[in-house]
Amino acid sequence: MLGFHLTSEQLSLQKTARQFALTRVLPVAWYYDEKDETPLQVIREAFEAGFVGADIPEEYGGKGLGLVESALITEEIAATCPGLATSIFDTSLGMEPLLLSANNAAKKHYLRQIAEKGKLAAFATSEPTMGSDVAGIRCQASADGQEYILNGTKYWITNGGIADYLSVFATVDPKSRHKGICAFFLEMDWPGITVGRTIPKMGQRCSNTVGINFKNVRVPKANILAEPGDGFVLAMKTFARTRPIIGSFGVGAARAALEYSLDYVKKRQAFGAPIAGFQAIQFKLAEMYQKIETSRLLTWKAAWESDQQLDNTVSASITKLYATETALEVVNEALQIFGGYGYTKMFPLEKLLRDVRLLRIYEGTSEIQRLILSDYLLKKYQPGLPPLEDLALHRQNDPLDPQAPPATDTTWRCRICGHVHYGEEPPEECPYCFFAGSAFKEVTTG
């Protein structure tokens, strides 16, 4: 059942994506980063190459590729510019709530526009006063006949200034939290929508990030993606599809840092020899490599699970957490390997470090991923081992000795200190922790 090889089609896709990244993205990345501008032409070229919205199903005019294929494409583009990778992939994020919705008419119309005409979609849950707490959305949706009226502001919206469409999450009642969240698919040229100035950022400056204001924006009910109460789940399902791709951003950026380092350590001399000869440097490279390989495996697994229609919420969360945290570590170590040159704008590490820093923040911060994982562990995880109180760690007789008489007495275990007692009844009092006999439980396994 397990296989880690890529098919010939996937290998070919990976090769084409790498070629695109090296010839179309890498040469422009630093210029547009410095300019703090998104090169629309490159996004158009990525669309023409089949890399934008690659996972739109064939019935809507798309290529019908899986998330694994998207992960392969994204790693290659992110290796040359994580910011442009964010912009190129953002249409997938923006259209995902539509794809996951039950609104077939909207799917038929808008997905075809994206797949065939290269229209761009963006995604909006975050607001100026709220990001992690999606149930705390304040953007107000008020029903009015066959329409909803939207009022409020979304913030941090990637591609918000260049997108044609927007998946927007709002609430019919901020006080009702999850129960009030709904979602709509908007056309960005509808009256009442105002795009703010481009937010100046530390990194990923090739990706456009803006605030978007809604003043009495009339949204036809035909554009509902989630009715009030269903929007929160739709947002979470969207993240389960997109978080593996954030893993690919991390893998791509970290791989770039490693590859630049491999080149540098063979050429840079210190103490009369290439620094590649120092074990301290070699161990850094080994650490970097194992983190990248682990991240890629996690990314592919989470993407594969999604392609198999499995619930990948947990694996997507692990991927997002691990691949983004280790990407930052890897890029940071690479910068260290470059010494002073790593800290300059003449070498690629400083941009990579700025770009990769964002990965731990958007699409659910590292802290939120830890919350998701710990919540899963404490509420849903199915252990393979028995509970502690059912372990008879200490036994009356040697369990491997065939001559030993079978234990006839009942085994009791103190739930407080773990003491195991043999007898018809538990002791009146534990001889170790002095708790009453009621603290003892009859051991059923072991």
Ligand X SMILES: Cc1cc2nc3c(=O)[nH]c(=O)nc-3n(C[C@H](O)[C@H](O)[C@H](O)COP(=O)(O)OP(=O)(O)OC[C@H]3O[C@@H](n4cnc5c(N)ncnc54)[C@H](O)[C@@H]3O)c2cc1C
What is the nearest approach in angstroms of ligand X to the Cβ of residue 394?
Answer: 41
168 binds ligand X (CB under 6 A): no
To the nearest whole angstrom, how small is the minimum distance from the Cβ of residue 89 to ligand X? Answer: 11
- Which span (129-137, 236-244, 379-387, 405-413) binds ligand X, by CB under 6 A? 129-137
Nearest CB to ligand X, comparing residues 159 and 411: 159
User: Nearest to residue 106, comparing CAs of 250, 220, 256, 20?
Assistant: 220
131: contact with ligand X by CB under 6 A: yes
208 belongs to the binding site for ligand X (CB under 6 A): no
Q: Single out the residue of 201, 218, 415, 441 in contact with ligand X (rule: CB under 6 A).
A: 201
Beta strands in 145-227 (DSSP E): 147-158, 165-171, 181-187, 193-195, 209-220, 224-226
Q: Which stretch binds ligand X (CB under 6 A): 51-59, 120-128, 260-268, 427-435?
A: 120-128
Catalytic pick among 116, 363, 367, 442: 363
Query: Which of 157, 254, 281, 288 lies at the binding interface for ligand X (CB under 6 A)?
Result: 157
Contacts (CB under 6 A) with ligand X, residues 340-359: 358
- Return the number of the residue (249 or 440) whose C-beta is nearest ligand X: 249
Stretch that binds ligand X, among 32-40, 125-133, 183-191, 395-403 (CB under 6 A): 125-133
**DSSP assignment of 341-399, as one string?**
GGGSTTSTHHHHHHHHHGGGTTTS-HHHHHHHHHHHHHHT---SSPPGGG---S-SS-T
List the Cα angle 157/163/167 in 5-degree steps: 60
User: How far is it, in rounded angstroms, from Cα 100 to Cα 107?
Assistant: 9
Instruction: Quote the least distance from Cβ 406 to ligand X, whole Å.
Output: 52
Which residue of the chain is nearest ligand X when measured via CB?
Answer: 131
Q: Which is nearer to ligand X, 127 or 230 (CB)?
A: 127
Stretch that binds ligand X, among 3-11, 59-67, 155-163, 250-258 (CB under 6 A): 155-163
Is 91 a residue that touches ligand X (CB under 6 A)? no
123 binds ligand X (CB under 6 A): yes
Active site residue 227: no
What's at 420, amino acid-wise?
V
Cα–Cα distance for residue pair 303/295, rounded to 1 Å: 12
Q: Does 371 bind ligand X (CB under 6 A)?
A: yes
Q: Which of 49, 285, 297, 361: binder of ligand X (CB under 6 A)?
A: 361
Q: Which is nearer to ligand X, 130 or 420 (CB)?
A: 130
Taking CB under 6 A as the rule, does residue 416 contact ligand X? no
Among 124, 172, 225, 337, binds ligand X (CB under 6 A): 124
126 binds ligand X (CB under 6 A): yes
In angstroms, give the least distance from the CB of 208 to ligand X: 9
Contacts of the segment 128-136: beta carbons below 8 A, 24+ positions apart: 128/153, 128/155, 128/211, 131/156, 131/365, 132/364, 132/365, 132/367, 132/368, 134/169, 134/181, 134/232, 134/235, 134/236, 135/177, 135/178, 135/181, 135/232, 136/174, 136/177
Q: Report in angstroms the alpha-carbon separations of 149 from 140, 170, 217.
A: 8, 10, 5
Binding span for ligand X by CB under 6 A among 60-68, 69-77, 150-158, 216-224: 150-158
Q: Is residue 158 involved in binding ligand X (CB under 6 A)?
A: yes
- The residues near 415 (Cβ < 8 Å, ≥ 6 apart) are 389, 439, 440, 441
**421: enclosing H helix or E strand:** strand 420-422
Applying CB under 6 A, among 367, 375, 425, 442 the residue interacting with ligand X is 367
Distance CA 204, CA 87 (A): 9
Contact call for residue 365 and ligand X (CB under 6 A) = yes
Task: Compute how many residues bind ligand X; rule: CB under 6 A.
Answer: 22
Alpha-carbon span 203 to 200, nearest angstrom: 9
Give the C-alpha separation, 339 to 319, whole Å. 30
Closer residue to ligand X, CB minimum distance, 159 or 261: 159
State how far the alpha carbon of 441 is from the alpha carbons of 415, 420, 446, in Å. 7, 10, 13
Determine the distance from the C-alpha atom of residue 321 to the mean position of all C-alpha atoms in its chain, rounded to a whole number.
7
Q: How far is the CB of 154 from ligand X (least distance, A)?
A: 7
User: Site for ligand X (CB under 6 A): which residue of 80, 103, 171, 209?
Assistant: 209
Q: How many CA atoms, within 13 angstroms, populate the side-chain half-sphere of residue 34?
A: 7
Site map (CB under 6 A) of ligand X, residues 24-53, x = contact: ------------------------------
Q: Are 338 and 330 in contact (CB under 8 A)?
A: no
Q: Beta-strand (E) ranges in 60-179?
A: 121-124, 140-144, 147-158, 165-171
Could you list the residues that contact ligand X (CB under 6 A)?
Answer: 122-126, 130-132, 156-158, 201, 204, 209, 358, 361-363, 365, 367-368, 371
Instruction: Give the residue numbers annotated as catalytic, written as ranges.
Output: 363
